[in-house]
Amino acid sequence: MTLLEQRRAPRTEAGRRRSPLGSRWTPYLFLGPAAIFILLFQGVPLAQEVYLSFTRTSLLNPTNSTWVGLENYVDIFGDEDFRRTLRTTFVYVVACVAGSVGAGLLVALLLNRSFRGRGVVRALVTIPWAAPGIAVALIATWMLNPQYGIVNRFLDAVGLGVPGGAILDSSTYALPAILVTTVWQLFPLTSVVLLSALQAVPRDLLEAATMDGAGRWWTFRAVTWQVIKPTVGLLALLMTIWSIRRFELIWLMTKGGPVGSTETLVIDLYAQAFDSKQLGTAAAIGMVGVVISLIVIAGSRLVTRAAEKEGLR
Amino acid sequence: MSRLRIGVTLRVVGVLVVMGIAVFPLYWMFVTALSSNADLFAADARLLPDFSELGVFADALADGEALTWLRNSLVIALGTTVLSIGLGIPLGYALSRFSFRGKMLTAVVLLLTQMLPEALMVVPLFALFNRFDLLDSLTGLVLANSAFVLPIVALILKGAIDGIPRELEEAGRVDGARPLTMLLRINVPLIGPSIAAAAVIAFFHAWNEYVFAVTFIYAPETQPASVGIANFIGEVGTPVQTVMAVAFMFTLPAVAFYLFAQKYVVAGMTAGAVKG
């Protein structure tokens, strides 16, 4: 986002002139090592995956590919299981974005006052984001353990217990449980970023609005929201892209089960590659994920541009 | 007046609830590690750690396996940090200070890497590493992890260098310093906090990484902690207390480091990756 933003910004610093010192090859000398590195470890593999998605290739004999054109794509879109995977991915991503940005905003508003011990609170609230995903999956699985998990004990105590307690084995409750875990891990980041965005809200405007007798909700919409809207948009985009590619938390908690109820695109792709050994199908599923991310990014650019034009008029 | 009271009370309760939610799972990991078997499986959960069980941490490390995992994780994380910062500083500098053909393309490529799932790249990277004999080696994981974290590192550092006035370099130019000298002598010392932030992000990206590690590593002695701990999930042989003790020792450095470097990490993330 950073650099794309900059292109639209008036060309001051970076774009003003060619480097007065060094030849015109100088920038490439700085850029070169990293560029080669990224090309080798991201570009080439991606190109191979694009190719694989048009072939039938087995993990057991990966050098032997048969070109099948669009067959993998036709097959997956004709498959009811894959359409369920797409729906699950959609639900997961939308809920993650809404949950993490929503919770982050609530927490940011809560902490956007000075009070004694705020520094400590802010630091402690960062913990979920700092905790490794593996450890989060482990403790979540233990807390959700049917017999001894604290979550079930608590739910039983308040009379909301899931029959048998096996939340992660239930096709109804597994996805919500994973969602709560994901949002728990993400809300520190969104709240910290939104908290810093809230510092830009002009205090005198807020005071003026309050003086004029405006209600809290009105003040929030008219003043605060207008200032933090771009940050909310960027966070939503970031959370969307991250949620589409999130793997380990879901894989370690449910492996996509039970009966595919938590199977997102990335889980499906990994299972196709390593359980079913169908590299072509796996690559095609991956490409669908990449294209969806691209569409989301392009869409968000269009929305931003439209909003800016609106603002100019 | 009483309405104000209620507002303040609600806020205090809200802050406490949020803090509890944030801290509880990690606290629970600690409590579980420090539970006797009797407490662990008792009808009523014991909510406080039992410090007479502190020996569990020593026991967890006693057979050396967990120590090997943690050491491997440390090597991978340090290697990834050094490599990604080493490549990221010049890349960030090029993007910040020069205009050149292909700059736009570079920027777009860096952003696009952010949407590539590791799980998608596992198969071709496996084939690549197989050819160059990098499977089952910590070097392979350093390379793969660096490729994934380098774009974020470079964007953070670019943002930091953007913030340094060019005038500072003018003096160096007059003295005829070469761009590399100016980068190392003028810019690098000034963006220390951002380098620290990027280093923390790179370090823990590699420390936490799982997909590549579980696919590329077979031998127990090259296994990092992320894989070792993940293997505990759904396994019943190891006592829960030992599992939680190892996981806690794996988690604690990450959390402690973030708390310590939080100011810089947040500033770096917001400056580089989010706001620009």
Q: How close does chain A come to B138, measured CA to CA in Å?
A: 16
Between CA B223 and CA B219 the distance in angstroms is: 6
Where are the domains positioned within chain B? Answer: 57-275
ipTM: 0.87
Please give the mean pLDDT across all residues of chain A: 85
Alpha helix stretches (DSSP H) within A112-143 = 118-125, 127-130, 133-143
Mutate to test the interface with B, among A18, A29, A38 (most CBs of B within 10 A): A38
CATH number of A74-312: 1.10.3720.10
Among the partner residues B208, B247, B259, nearest to A126 by beta-carbon distance: B259
Query: Closest by alpha carbon to A14, among B119, B93, B175?
Result: B93
Interior angle at CA A173, CA B45 and CA A261, nearest 5: 140
Residue B30 tokens read as 């600690």
A6 touches B: beta carbon within 8 Å: yes
Q: Can you give the pLDDT of all 276 residues of chain B as single tens digits?
A: 566 778 788 888 999 999 999 999 999 999 999 888 888 887 777 788 888 878 888 888 887 888 999 999 999 999 999 999 999 999 999 988 888 888 888 888 888 888 888 889 998 998 889 888 889 999 999 999 999 999 989 988 888 888 888 877 777 777 777 777 777 877 888 888 888 888 988 998 999 999 999 999 988 889 999 999 888 887 777 888 889 999 999 999 888 888 877 777 666 665 544 433
* Spatial contact of B88 and A34, defined as CB atoms under 8 Å apart: yes
Query: Closest by alpha carbon to A264, among A23, A92, A115, A71?
Result: A92
A313 touches B: beta carbon within 8 Å: no
Query: Closest by alpha carbon to A127, among A197, A177, A176, A192?
Result: A192
Q: How many CA atoms lie within 13 A of A236 on its CB side?
A: 17
pLDDT at A24 over 80: no
Contacts of A135 in chain B (CB under 8 A): 29, 229, 247-248, 250-251
Residue A19 tokens read as 């480097």
| Span B57-275 CATH architecture | Orthogonal Bundle (1.10)
Residue for token pair 């809230």: A198
Among the partner residues A37, A128, A290, nearest to B87 by beta-carbon distance: A37
Contact A289 B87 (CB under 8 A): no
* Spatial contact of A255 and A224, defined as CB atoms under 8 Å apart: no
Report field, pTM of the whole predicted structure over 0.95: no
Between CA A31 and CA A37 the distance in angstroms is: 10
The alpha carbon dihedral of B178, B184, B185, B191 has a sign of: positive
Between CA B237 and CA A127 the distance in angstroms is: 30
Contacts of B131 in chain A (CB under 8 A): none
Per-residue model confidence (pLDDT) at position A205: 81
Query: Closest by alpha carbon to B112, among A280, A298, A5?
Result: A298
From residue A186, give the alpha-carbon distance in Å to each of A41, A99, A236, A293, B74. Answer: 28, 9, 12, 19, 25
pLDDT one-digit tens code per residue, A73-85? 999 999 999 999 9
Among the partner residues B32, B111, B179, nearest to A1 by beta-carbon distance: B111
Contact A132 B162 (CB under 8 A): no
Q: Which residues contact B210 (CB under 8 A, 6 or more apart)?
A: A133, A134, A247, A248, A252, B226, B227, B230
